[in-house]
Structure 1
Amino acid sequence: MKTHARAVVVGGGAVGASIAYHLARAGWQDILLLERDELTAGSTWHAAGLLPLFNMSYAASHIHDYSVKFYKTLEEDTGLNAGFAVVGNLRMAQTDDRMDEYRLYASTAESVGIEYQWLTPSEIKSRWPLIRTDDLKGAIFHPTDGYINPADVTQAMAKGARQRGVEIVRRAQVDAYDWTGSEWIVSGRMMVEKGGNLIASEETFEIRAEHVVTATGNHAQRTAKMLGIKHAAIPVEHQYIVTEPDPALVEWRKSNPEHPVIRDIDAKWYVREERGGWICGPYEFGAPACFEHGVPDSFRADLFALDLDRIEQEYMDFIHRIPTSEEVGLKDDFNGPICYTPDGNPLVGPAPGLRNMWLAEGFSFGITAAGGTGYYLAQMMVEGEAEIDMASMDPKRYGDWITTEYTARKNEESYSHMLILHYPDEEREACRPLRTAPCYDRMKARGAQFGCVNGWERPNYFGPLDAAEEFDHESRSFRRGGWWQYAVDEAKAIREGVGLIDATAFAKHRISGPGATAFLEWFTCNKLPKVGRINLTYALTPTGTTRTEYTIVREAEDSYYLVSAGAWTAYDEDYLYKLITEKEAEFGRINAQDVTTQYGVFAIAGPKSRDVLNRLVVDADPATVLSNKRFPWLTMRNIELKMCPVMAIRVAYTGELGWELHHPIEMQNYLFDQLMATGEPDGLKLVGARAQNWLRQEKSYRAFGNELGRDATPLEADLPRFVDLTKDFHGKAAMESTGIRAKCVTLLIDGPADADPWGREALYLEGEKVGRLTSGGYSVAFGKSIGMGYVRPDLANAGQKLKVRMMDGLWDAEIREDSPYDPQNVRIRQDG
C-alpha cells in the first residue's frame, strides 16, 4: 500500500470508484482508493441499478445525463461489460397535475439536452399491452436510459481506474483523519474476516495525502464524527421485491423487446423486468431512518427484515397497473439502507472548515449519480471549479444548526416524498417550525404562509384572515396557485404604497482589524465603499465565476458589515473564513464574526416608506433625517426608531424607495409593533418572498443561486458596473480569460393565461435552443410574465424576440433593457 498519495478516496462503492477513475483520467497520479470490505459491499450491491434521467434540478440533470452517456463507454475503455440495458424509462401520469410536472421538467431537460418523448395512453397500450392504461393521462418517455448492474459498473470503473495507475486496497478501514497543516494523515487498520464478521487486525496503516475524498455511503455519520463536522447524510430503509416469472411476460418476450423501466409515479413505485419476472420498488410513507449514530461493526452486505405491511398499498397498485402480476409469487426481497439528505440531493464538494477534504456522501440515487459526480468533483479538485454550478449539492448548504434528530426525520420525509408531486411552490412540513425570528408568531397571526430557507421560517405570502375567504394553503400548482393573487396584491402595495418584508434570515458577517481593508480589496471585485456607504460586490471562485454576492457596509475605516443570501450562511462563511486564514499573514490581522442571529432585518419599501419612518425616527430634526441630503441612496446611518437602535441601509431589493432596518434581534417584536401601528394610516402591507422575487426581476436584480453562481462570471451576468478592473482581486485573471460565453438578460413573456415561468425553462430562436431561464414570475408593472436567464451573447440585445418553452408550448418572449421598470432609478432615489 502507498504511504504517500496525491489523493486518497475512502469508499469502494460506485461513487468512490467513479471519483478515483475520473481523478486519474484528469491526469492526477498517486491515487489510492481504500475500501473497508469488498468493492460494492455497501448500498451498491443491493441497489436496483436504475438510471433515471428525470430530475427537476439543473445540476442533477447534468450529473445524471453524464452518467448515462459515460456508462455506455466503459466496455470499450475497460473491456468489461457494465451490464447497461438501454430499455428506456417510462414515467406515467394519472393526473393533469402530474402531466404539468412532466411539462415543466421537459423544458429543464431541453436546457440540458436530454432526449424525451410524449406518449398517450393508447400509445403506451399499443407498445406495451401488459400495462393497464385506462386511468392514465399520458407519459413521458426517455429512450436513452434504463438500468445497469451496479456491481458490474463499479468493477468496470475500478478497472479503468487501475489502468490509469490507481491503487485499490480492500479491507482497509480508516479510523482517523489528521491534518498536519500541510497534508492529511489517513490512518486505520486492516480488516480480517472471522466468523462471517469483519474485525480489525493488528496490522495498521498510515498514508500521507494532499487530498482526501470520502465516499463512505452508509458510514457517513461515522466519517463526519472523525472529521469533527456535521452533515446531513443518514440512511433510510428501502425495500423492493422480485417476483417469480410472469407467464404473460415470458410469452411477450418471445417476440418482443424488453419493457422499459416503468414508473407509476402517482402510485409511488418503479418496476422493471428481471429474468421473466418483475422487480417492484416502492417509495412508501413510514420507511424509517437507520444507522443514525453509525453502522454497527457487524453490519456488512446485510439486509433488514422485509416489512410487507408497509408497502401493501404500493404492491396492490403494482398489480393494478400490471394485472398479469396478480398470480405471480414473490421470489426474493430486499430491504437495505440507502443514504438520504433532507432535500434529496447528495453532499458533493469541500468539507466545511477543512482544507483539501472533499465529501461525496448522501446519495439516494448513487448508481445514477456516480459517473457524473466523479466527473464534476474531479473538475472541482483539479481545475478549481466544475463547469456547472454545484452549489445545490454543496455540503455547506446545511449549517451547524442541524442535529441528528432533524436529519433523520427530514430524510424520512425526503424518502417518502421521492415520487410525490414536486410543485415548484412545494413546502415540506417535517421538523417545522425550527428556526424562527421573534416576529414569527405576530406574522403568523396576520396570515403569513411560511416557506423554509436554511431552516428559517420565512413568509412566502400573507393569506386572508377572514374565514369566508380562506382557501387551502396546502393546495399547490404548476400554474398560478391560489396564493398568486395575494402575491400580486403585495407586489402592488410596494409599487404603489408601502410594504414590510421580514429579511431576518440574511447571512451577516462583521469583518474588522488592520488587515480587513486589504483583504476585502483582494477578496471582492468591486471598489470598497467609503465609511458610511455601501457597495454591492462579488467574491469569485478561482476560475473567475461568482462564488458569493455581498452587500458591504463600511462602518469604519477597518470595520465592515457584510450581508449575503440567507440560504447560504454556512456556505459563505466557510469560503470567507478559509481565505481569511490563508491571507492573514499577507494582509495583517483580520477579525471575522458571524452575526446572523444577533440582528433581525426588516425591509420597508414603497413610495410611502419614508412617511412611515418619519413618524418613528428620533432626532433633533426628524423631518430631514431620511432626506436625500442627510441620507442619500446607498448609504448607511445609525438611527433610532423610538426605543430601538437601528442600522438603516438605504437600499431596496424591490426597486422602490426603501430601507433595510438591521436591529438587535431581542428588540424585533417591539420594532415590528411600532412599524405596524405607525404604518396603518398609509396602508402598510406585509409582503412575502414571492412578491419580492417578482419585483426584483422587474429591476433585473440578479439573485444568488439563480442568475449568480459558479457557472457564470460577473461579466457574463452583465454586471460590469460592479467589477473594478483597475485593481487586482481573487479570480480576476480567470474571469477575464473566460470571456463571455453567455449573457444574462431580462425578458417579458406573453405566456399562458394561467401560468408563469418558474425559472427552469429553455429559450429558443427559430427552433434552436439558445439559452435558459434562471428565474421567472409575474410582473405587476407590465401585466405579464417575466423571467431572467442566459442567452447566447449575440442575442443579448433589447428588442430581441425569442420563444420560451412553457407547458409544452412555445410562447413569445422579448428581451428588455436592463431594469425594465424605472431604468433610471428615479423612484428609488426620490426625495421627500
Structure 2
Amino acid sequence: MKTQVKALVVGGGAVGTSIAYHLARAGWDDVMLLERDELTSGSTWHAAGLLPYFNMSYATTHIHDYSIRYYKTLEEETGLDAGFFVVGNLRMAQTKARMDEYMLYASTAETCGVPYEWMTPDQIKERWPLVRTDDLEGAIFHPTDGYINPADVTMAMAKGARQRGVTIERKWQVDGYRWDGSVWHVDAVKMVEKGGNLVPSDERIVIEAEHVVTATGNHAQRTARLLGIKIPAIPVEHQYIVTEPDPALVEWRKTNPQHPVLRDADAKWYVREERGGWILGPYEDGAPARFLHDVPESFRADLFPLDLDRIEEEYMSMIHRIPSSEEVGLKDDYNGPICYTPDGNPLLGPAPGLRNMWLAEGFSFGITAAGGAGKYLADVMVEGEAEIDMASLDPRRYGSWMTTEYAARKNEEAYSHVYILHHPDEERPAARPLRTSPAYDRQKARGAQFGAVNGWERPNYFGPLDAPESFDHDARSFRRGGWWQYAHDEAKAVREAAGLIDATAFTKHIVEGPGATAFLDWFTCNRLPKVGRINLTYALTAQGTVRTEYTIVRLAEDKYYLVSAGAWQAYDSDFLMKAIEDKREEFGWISAYDVTSQWGVFALAGPKSRDILGGLIGDAEPETALSNKRFPWLSARRIELGMVPVNAIRVAYTGELGWELHHPIEMQTHLFDRLVGAGEKHGMKLVGARAQNWLRQEKSYRAFGNELGRDATPLEADLPRFVDQSKEFHGKADMEAKGIRSKCVTVLIDGPEDADPWGREALYDGETRVGRLTSGGYSVAFGKSIGMGYVRPELAVPGQKLQVKMFDRLWQAEVQADSPYDPENQRIRMDG
C-alpha cells in the first residue's frame, strides 16, 4: 500500500470517487482514495438517484449540468453501465406563485444553457394520463435528466479512476491528520469485521499526502474533530417508500416509455417509477438531525426506524396526484441519513485555516452533484480556480461563531424547505435571532424586518409598526412584494433627505506593522491611500480575478483598517491571514486581526446628512467640521458624536453625500438614539438593505458576490480606475493575459409593471443570449427597473438595446453609461 501520494481522498461515496477520478483526469498521477468500509456504503447506497437540474444557484446549476452530461459518457469510457435512465423531470405547480418561481429559475437555467420546456395541465394529461392535472397551473419539464443507479455510477467512476492510475483502498479508516508545513501525515488503521461491526485492527500506517480531500459524508463531524475545525454538515433523516406494482402503471408501460421523475413541489414530494410501482420521496416537516457528534461504530449501511405518521400528508397527496396508487401496497421503506448544511449547498473548497486541506462535505443531493463537484474542485486544486465562481459553496462562508446546535437546527430547516417557494427575498427563521447588534431591539420596535447575513440580523426594510410576526413572510413575492413600497420610500428618502443604515455586519480587519504597507501594496491592485484617506481596492486571485473587495482606511504610515463584505467574514479573514503568512518573510513583520465584533457601523447618507451630523458633532468650529475643506470626500477622521468617539469615513454606498460612522459597539444604542433624534426634523428614515441595493445600482457600484467574484477580473468588471497597472500586484499578469472576455454594464429596463429583476435573468440581443444579470431592482431616480450584469464586450456600449428575460418573455433594456445617476459625483461631493 502506498504511503506517499500527491493527493489523498478520504471517503468512497459518489462524491469521493468523482473527485479522485477528476484529479487524475486533470493530470495528477499519484492519487489515492481511502474508504473505511465498502464503496457506496454511506448515504450513496440508499440514495434514490435523482438528478434534478432545478437550483436557484448559478454555480450549483453548472455543477448539476456537468454531472448529468458526464454520467452519460461513463459507459463508453469504462464499459460499465452507470444505470442512467434519461426519462426527464416534470416539476408541477399548483399555484401561480409556483409558476413564477419556475420562470425565475428558468432564466437562471438559460444562463447555464440548461434545456427546459413549459407544459400546460392539458399537455401533461395528454402525455401522462395517470397524473391528475385538474388542479395544476402548469409545469416545467427538463427532458435531459432523470435518475441513475447510485451504486452503478459510483462503481463506474471508481473504474474510470483506476484506469487513470488512482489507487482505491477499502477498509481503511483515518484516525488523525498532522501538517508539518509541507505535507499532511495521515494516520490510518485497517478495519476488520467483528460480530457484524467494523472495528480497528492492529495494522496501522501513516500516509504522507501533499493534498487531502475529505468526502466523509455522514462522518463529517468526526472529520471536523480530527481537523480541529467547524464543519456544519450534519445528517437529517430522509424517508422514502416503494410501492408494490401498480396495475394501471404496468398496463401503461406495455406500450409507453417511463414516466419522468414527477415532482409536486407544493405537496413536498418526488415520485418516480420503480419496477412497475412507485417510489415516493417526501420532504416533510419534523425530520430530525442525526449524528450531531459522531456516527456510532455499529452504524454501517444501516437505516433508522420508519416514521410513517410523519409523512402521512405527503403519502395522501401522492394518491391525490396519481389516483391509481391508492390501492397499491407498500413494498419497501427506507429512512436513512442524508447530510445537509444550513443553506442546503455543499461545502466544497479549502478548509478554513488549513493548508492543502479540501472539504467536500454536506451533499444533500450528492448523486446529482458528485460529477460536477469532482470536476470543479479538481479545477480549483490543480489550476487554482474554476471557470465559475465557487464562493457560494466555499466552506469558509460559515464562521467560527457557528455551533453544532446551530447547524443541526438549520439543517433540519433546510431539509423541510427543499420544496417550499424559494422567493428571492426568502428569509428562513430557524436559529434566529442569534448575532444581533445592540440597536437590534430599537430597530425592531421601529418596524425593522430583518435578514440574516453571516448570522447577523440586518434590517432588509422597515415595515409597519403594528405588523404581525407573519408580515415579512406574507410580504414576499416573485414580483413586487408587500415590502416593495417601504423600500421605495426609503430609497426616495435617501435621495431627497437622509437615511440611516445599520452596516454593523461589515467585516473589519486591522493590518499593521513594518511590513504592512509593502504587503498591502502587493496584495491589492489599487494604489494605497495616504494617511487619513481611503481607497476602494481589490485583492485578486492568482488567476487575476476578484477575490475580495476592500475599503482601505490608512490610519498611520504602517497601520490600515480594512472593511469588506459582511457575508464573507471567515472567507476574507482566512485568505488575508494565509497571504500574510506567505509573505511575512519577504515583507517583514505584519500583524492582522479581525475586529468585526468590536465596531458597529451606521451609514448616514442623503443631502441632509451633513445637517444631521452637524447638530451632534463636538468640535470647536462645528459649522465647518464637516465641510469639504476640513472633511473631504474619501477621507477619514475621528470625531465625537454626543458621547461616542467615532471613526468617520466620508463615503456612501448609495451615491449621496454621506458618512460611515464606525463606533465602539458597546456605545451603539446611545449613538442610534442621538442620530434618530437629530434626524427627525430633517425627514430622515431608517433604511434597509433592499433600498440600499437599488441605490447602489443607480451608481453602478459593483457588489461582491454579484458583479465581483472569482470568475471575472476587475477590468472585466469595468473598474480600471481602481487598478494601478504601473505597479506589480498579486494576480496582475494573469489579469492582463485574460483580456476582456465579458464586460459589466448597468441597464435600465422597461419591465412589467408589477415586477423587477432579481439579478438572475438572461440577457438577449434579439434572439441570441449574450449575457446575464447579476443584480436587479428598481430605480427611484429613473422610475423603472434597473439591473447590472455581464455581456459580450462589443455590446457594453451606452445606448445598446438589449432584452431581459422575465416571466418567460423578453423586456426591453438599454445599456447606460457608468453611474447613470449623478455621473459627475456632484451630490456625493456636495459642500455645505
TM-score, with structure 2 as normaliser: 0.99
- How far 1:195 sits from its partner (Å)? 1.4
Separation (CA, whole Å) in 2 of partners of 1:78 and 1:390: 29
Separation (CA, whole Å) in 2 of partners of 1:664 and 1:350: 33
Match of 2:401 in 1: 401
Q: Is the 8 A contact 2:474 2:482 kept in 1?
A: no
- How far 1:679 sits from its partner (Å)? 1.2
Q: Is the 8 A contact 2:472 2:483 kept in 1?
A: no
Match of 1:248 in 2: 248
Match of 1:71 in 2: 71
Q: 1:76-87, aligned counterparts within 5 Å?
A: 76-87=76-87
Match of 1:528 in 2: 528
Question: What letter is aligned with 1:45?
Answer: W
Going from structure 1 to structure 2, the CA distance change for 1:335 and 1:467 (only over 3 Å counts) comes to: closer
Match of 2:418 in 1: 418
- How far 1:632 sits from its partner (Å)? 0.5
Can you list the C-alpha shifts for 1:158-183, whole angstroms capped at 9, x where unaligned? Answer: 00000000000000000001001111
Q: Is the 8 A contact 2:342 2:414 kept in 1?
A: yes
Separation (CA, whole Å) in 1 of partners of 2:226 and 2:654: 45
Separation (CA, whole Å) in 1 of partners of 2:746 and 2:680: 35
Question: What letter is aligned with 2:178?
Answer: D
Match of 1:581 in 2: 581
Going from structure 1 to structure 2, the CA distance change for 1:635 and 1:103 (only over 3 Å counts) comes to: same
Is 1:292 matched up with 2:303? no
Can you list the C-alpha shifts for 1:78-100, whole angstroms capped at 9, x where unaligned? Answer: 11110000000000000000000
Separation (CA, whole Å) in 2 of partners of 1:280 and 1:695: 46
Q: 1:80-229, aligned counterparts within 5 Å?
A: 80-229=80-229
Separation (CA, whole Å) in 1 of partners of 2:714 and 2:419: 37
- Structure 2, unaligned runs of 5 or more: none
Match of 2:280 in 1: 280
Separation (CA, whole Å) in 2 of partners of 1:333 and 1:681: 66
Can you list the C-alpha shifts for 1:521-560, whole angstroms capped at 9, x where unaligned? Answer: 1100000000000000000111111000000000000000
Separation (CA, whole Å) in 2 of partners of 1:164 and 1:733: 33
SS at match of 1:686: strand
Match of 1:645 in 2: 645
- How far 1:475 sits from its partner (Å)? 3.3
Match of 2:347 in 1: 347
Match of 2:828 in 1: 828
SS at match of 1:712: coil
Can you list the C-alpha shifts for 1:786-828, whole angstroms capped at 9, x where unaligned? Answer: 0000000010000000000001110000000000000000000
SS at match of 1:625: coil
SS at match of 2:578: helix
SS at match of 1:17: helix
Q: Is the 8 A contact 1:639 1:647 kept in 2?
A: yes
Separation (CA, whole Å) in 2 of partners of 1:799 and 1:585: 51
Match of 1:749 in 2: 749
Can you list the C-alpha shifts for 1:71-117, whole angstroms capped at 9, x where unaligned? Answer: 00000111111000000000000000000000000000000000000
Question: What letter is aligned with 2:322?
Answer: I
- How far 1:323 sits from its partner (Å)? 0.5
Can you list the C-alpha shifts for 1:107-153, whole angstroms capped at 9, x where unaligned? Answer: 00000000000000000000000000000000000000000000000
Q: Is the 8 A contact 1:345 1:362 kept in 2?
A: yes
Match of 1:768 in 2: 768
- How far 1:684 sits from its partner (Å)? 1.4
Match of 1:484 in 2: 484
Q: Is the 8 A contact 1:473 1:482 kept in 2?
A: no
Separation (CA, whole Å) in 2 of partners of 1:21 and 1:269: 33
Can you list the C-alpha shifts for 1:196-245, whole angstroms capped at 9, x where unaligned? Answer: 11010000011101000000000001001100000210000001000000
- How far 1:595 sits from its partner (Å)? 0.1
Aligned-pair identity in percent equals 79
Going from structure 1 to structure 2, the CA distance change for 1:469 and 1:681 (only over 3 Å counts) comes to: farther
- How far 1:473 sits from its partner (Å)? 4.8
Q: Is the 8 A contact 1:463 1:470 kept in 2?
A: no
Match of 2:811 in 1: 811
Can you list the C-alpha shifts for 1:399-440, whole angstroms capped at 9, x where unaligned? Answer: 000001000000000000000100011111000000000000
Match of 2:552 in 1: 552
Separation (CA, whole Å) in 2 of partners of 1:283 and 1:510: 45
Question: What letter is aligned with 2:309?
Answer: D
Can you list the C-alpha shifts for 1:433-489, whole angstroms capped at 9, x where unaligned? Answer: 000000000000011000111000000000122569995653310000000000000
Question: What letter is aligned with 1:365?
Answer: F
Separation (CA, whole Å) in 2 of partners of 1:678 and 1:128: 66
Separation (CA, whole Å) in 2 of partners of 1:641 and 1:59: 44
Separation (CA, whole Å) in 2 of partners of 1:502 and 1:13: 45
Can you list the C-alpha shifts for 1:720-776, whole angstroms capped at 9, x where unaligned? Answer: 000011111111111111111100000000000000000000000111000000000
Match of 1:465 in 2: 465
Question: What letter is aligned with 1:767?
Answer: E
Q: 1:649-668, aligned counterparts within 5 Å?
A: 649-668=649-668
Going from structure 1 to structure 2, the CA distance change for 1:813 and 1:285 (only over 3 Å counts) comes to: same
Q: 1:593-672, aligned counterparts within 5 Å?
A: 593-672=593-672
Question: Which one is further off, 694-703 or 730-739?
Answer: 730-739
Q: Is the 8 A contact 2:286 2:310 kept in 1?
A: yes
Can you list the C-alpha shifts for 1:485-530, whole angstroms capped at 9, x where unaligned? Answer: 0000000000000110000000000000001001001100000000
Question: What letter is aligned with 2:512?
Answer: S
Match of 2:238 in 1: 238
Q: Is the 8 A contact 1:449 1:473 kept in 2?
A: no
Match of 1:337 in 2: 337
Match of 1:690 in 2: 690
Q: Is the 8 A contact 2:475 2:483 kept in 1?
A: no
Separation (CA, whole Å) in 2 of partners of 1:579 and 1:162: 36
Question: What letter is aligned with 2:721?
Answer: R
SS at match of 1:290: coil
Match of 1:20 in 2: 20
SS at match of 1:474: helix
Can you list the C-alpha shifts for 1:608-644, whole angstroms capped at 9, x where unaligned? Answer: 0000000111111111110000010000001111211
Can you list the C-alpha shifts for 1:334-382, whole angstroms capped at 9, x where unaligned? Answer: 0000000010000000000000000000000000000000000000000
- How far 1:678 sits from its partner (Å)? 1.1
Match of 2:801 in 1: 801
TM-score, with structure 1 as normaliser: 0.99
Separation (CA, whole Å) in 1 of partners of 2:474 and 2:40: 42
Separation (CA, whole Å) in 2 of partners of 1:784 and 1:674: 35
Q: 1:783-794, aligned counterparts within 5 Å?
A: 783-794=783-794
Question: What letter is aligned with 1:246?
Answer: D
Question: What letter is aligned with 2:16?
Answer: G
Going from structure 1 to structure 2, the CA distance change for 1:469 and 1:666 (only over 3 Å counts) comes to: closer
Separation (CA, whole Å) in 1 of partners of 2:560 and 2:362: 37
Separation (CA, whole Å) in 2 of partners of 1:787 and 1:468: 32
SS at match of 1:622: coil
